[in-house]
Each structure stands twice: as structure tokens, then as C-alpha cells.
């Protein structure tokens, strides 16, 4: 059996990927809220051999793998796998696959949009215009400014290209220290602190891990220019929440464009929503019809290849 335990909000049910999966085995899709509770996620998976993971709020913990011994594959729709205990998966004989790169161009485009929205104060101007005002705000021009890109995967490289396309100088940092990869993206390789000091815009595209949790904290924010903009379309936990709130509240950086948060959905009373210079979107940078279609099909293709004994896009394989 193939189970989709977390199709909420629903994108899988009734899709071309759903139809394709039904040709492989019985498919059970849960499009109701609840997969964020471990006991309910365990109940939904049951004796299924394969789970297609749609939402990051469904956490595949060691407890889930222990309670679902029949589970042999978790096929993740998307790149991030921080909601999966990869060590526990491998030890329990579970293969984990993802769909890297499918949403790359859409996410980079969204990161650029957030950058421009903050720099040009679009949300503020729009709000004041709708209130009958005629604001004369001073805006930030990005031509000739410096963009610092952390992470040189497909999204980061695309963001570098978009930055160059509007006339920005691009600095790049790779977790692997791959300077050739950075240069191939048209960026200048730099150290972390050097980028933070020089960049007018800092855009985060690193994968969340133990090493990158809190990648930007009080120390890093203190290095940034008071006119700098922080853009995060990666994961909320890449940035220390309290440090960011303080930096924004005290105007130690100009603003932030955020698509990801420590708690999702973001509570209506979260203090970040009341801060000036912040533009938010609800973790939907890759939410385009093209990305949804292609990503879901890719997730099912990974199921097909697993069943054929030739798994692809493998993040972790069973420990033998």
C-alpha cells in the first residue's frame, strides 16, 4: 500500500501524480489536518510500505519508524528533509528520497521578489495608497548593490543569476567550500563574515541541519549593514528568532523578506508581523502550478524506481 498521510492543504488528491500512483498499488490519501500529531501519523501510515510525504508538519520520527515496521520508503515532495529523522530511517531499513531542484527557479524568483518588495517598500506604499495617501518614501535601488548568497545549490545558483540580471554584484558561500561552483554561478567566493559585512542583501539557501540551525544569529546580524536586507526562503530555524526580532525592532538592519518561520502556520499575533520593513509570505515560494505538477510526479517517479529496485534521489539508504 502507498499512503499519503499529510495532504493538507490538499495538492495530491485528484492530481496526475495520484492517478499515476494508483497504477502501482492501492493508494490511501488523507487530506484532513492531523498528521502533525505523531499518534495520528502512525495511525495513517499503518501497514503501508510506502509513504509520500507532502507537508513538513508531518514529522517522521524514530517513534514513527518504530511503530510502522512495514514502512520501507518515504518519498518526500520537495527538497527539505528536516522533518525526517534520517538516522532512524536508515537504522530501521527505510529509504528516504526527495525531489531536489524541481522548485528551484520558482523559489529563487520568490526570493528576488521578497528582496525587491522590501527594498522598494511595496507593501507599505500599497497600504498607504489604499488609505488615500500619496506617500513620498525614499526607496532602495538594487543596481550596483551587493547580494550575498549563502548556499550554492540549484536555488542559490539561480538567485545569483537573477541578482546579476538586475545589475547586482554577487558574493557566494558554499557549505562544501566549492569555489569552482560559486564562480560558475557568476559569484565571487567569500567567507561568511566577509559576506555579512559587505552585502546589501543576504539571501539564505542552505539546507537546515544540526550545523546550520541558527546559521544567522545575534553575532551575524551585528555584522550586517544597518541598510541591509535579510531574505529567508530556506527554513525558519536557519535564523535565531529572538535575535532577528531584536535587530528589526532596533533598526539594526533595514528589513527582512521571510517565507519561512519557526512556527508554521504563523500565529496571527506573532511579533514579526508588527515590525516595520518586513514582508512575509506563507511558505509558498514554490507554490506554482508547474512546480506542484512536476514535483508530485517526481515523487511518484521515485516510488516507481524504488519498486523497480533502482531508487533515485536517495537522501538516506537502509543501513546494512
CATH number at 171 reads: 3.40.50.720
pTM of structure: 0.86
Rounded Cα distance, 123 and 114, in Å = 10
Backbone angles phi, psi at 291, to 5 degrees: -70, -45
Q: Which residues contact 217 (CB under 8 A, 6 or more apart)?
A: 239, 240, 243
Q: What is the pLDDT of residue 79?
A: 85
Same domain, 123 and 269: yes
**Domain range holding 234?**
104-280
- Contact call for residues 121 and 143 (beta carbons, < 8 A): no
Same domain, 260 and 240: yes
Same domain, 169 and 81: no
Q: Using the 8-state DSSP alphabet, how is residue 117 labeled?
A: H
* Nearest one of 63, 10, 64 to 33, comparing CA atoms: 10
Rounded Cα distance, 227 and 10, in Å = 40
Q: How many Cβ atoms are within 10 Å of 303's Cβ, its own excluded?
A: 24
Rounded Cα distance, 25 and 20, in Å = 10
Same domain, 114 and 131: yes
Same domain, 11 and 62: yes
Backbone angles phi, psi at 238, to 5 degrees: -65, -20
Same domain, 121 and 214: yes
Backbone angles phi, psi at 29, to 5 degrees: -115, 130
* Helix (H) / strand (E) containing 53: strand 50-53
- Contact call for residues 181 and 175 (beta carbons, < 8 A): no
Catalytic residue among 157, 158, 205, 283: 283
Rounded Cα distance, 174 and 157, in Å = 10
Q: Does the active-site annotation cover 283?
A: yes
Q: Give the pLDDT of the chain (320 residues) as one tens digit per residue.
A: 999 999 999 999 999 999 999 999 999 999 999 999 999 999 999 999 999 999 989 999 999 999 999 999 999 998 889 999 999 999 999 999 999 989 999 999 999 999 999 999 999 999 999 999 999 999 999 999 999 999 999 999 999 999 999 999 999 999 999 999 999 999 999 999 999 999 999 999 999 989 999 999 999 999 999 999 999 999 999 999 999 999 999 999 999 999 999 998 899 999 999 998 999 999 999 989 999 999 999 999 999 999 999 999 999 999 87
Looking at the structure of the chain, the number of domains it has is 2
Same domain, 97 and 121: no
Give 137's Cβ-side CA count (13 Å radius): 18
Rounded Cα distance, 296 and 279, in Å = 28
Q: What is the pLDDT of residue 265?
A: 87
Catalytic residue among 44, 59, 205, 235: 235
Catalytic residue among 128, 264, 301, 304: 264
Amino acid at each position: 500500500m502507498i499512503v499519503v498521510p499529510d495532504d493538507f492543504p490538499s495538492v495530491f488528491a485528484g492530481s496526475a501524480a495520484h492517478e499515476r500512483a494508483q497504477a502501482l498499488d492501492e493508494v490511501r490519501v488523507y487530506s484532513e489536518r492531523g498528521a502533525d500529531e505523531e499518534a495520528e501519523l502512525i495511525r495513517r501510515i499503518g501497514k503501508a510500505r510506502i509513504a509520500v510525504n507532502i507537508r513538513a508538519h508531518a514529522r517522521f520520527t524514530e517513534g514513527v519508524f518504530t511503530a510502522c515496521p512495514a514502512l520501507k520508503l518515504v518519498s518526500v515532495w520537495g527538497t527539505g528533509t528536516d522533518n525526517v529523522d534520517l538516522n532512524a530511517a536508515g537504522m530501521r531499513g527505510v529509504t528516504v528520497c526527495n525531489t531536489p531542484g524541481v522548485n528551484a527557479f520558482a523559489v529563487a524568483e520568490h526570493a528576488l521578489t521578497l528582496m525587491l518588495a522590501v527594498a522598494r517598500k511595496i507593501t507599505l506604499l500599497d497600504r498607504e495608497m489604499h488609505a488615500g495617501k500619496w506617500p513620498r518614501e525614499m526607496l532602495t535601488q538594487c543596481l550596483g548593490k551587493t547580494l550575498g548568497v549563502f548556499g550554492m545549490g540549484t536555488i542559490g545558483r539561480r538567485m545569483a543569476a537573477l541578482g546579476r540580471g538586475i545589475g547586482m554584484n554577487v558574493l557566494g558561500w558554499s557549505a562544501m567550500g566549492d569555489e569552482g561552483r560559486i564562480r560558475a554561478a557568476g559569484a565571487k567566493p567569500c567567507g561568511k563574515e566577509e559576506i555579512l559585512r559587505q552585502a546589501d542583501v543576504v539571501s539564505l539557501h542552505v539546507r537546515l541541519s544540526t550545523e546550520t540551525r541558527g546559521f544567522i544569529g545575534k553575532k551575524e546580524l551585528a555584522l550586517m549593514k544597518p541598510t541591509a536586507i535579510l531574505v529567508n526562503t530556506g527554513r525558519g530555524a536557519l535564523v535565531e528568532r529572538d535575535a532577528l526580532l531584536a535587530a528589526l525592532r532596533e533598526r539594526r538592519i533595514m528589513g527582512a523578506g521571510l517565507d519561512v518561520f519557526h512556527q508554521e502556520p504563523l500565529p496571527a499575533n506573532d511579533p514579526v508581523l508588527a515590525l516595520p520593513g518586513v514582508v512575509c509570505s506563507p511558505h509558498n515560494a514554490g507554490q506554482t502550478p508547474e512546480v506542484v505538477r512536476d514535483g508530485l510526479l517526481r515523487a511518484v517517479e521515485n516510488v516507481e524506481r524504488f519498486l523497480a529496485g533502482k531508487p533515485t534521489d536517495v537522501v538516506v539508504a537502509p543501513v546494512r
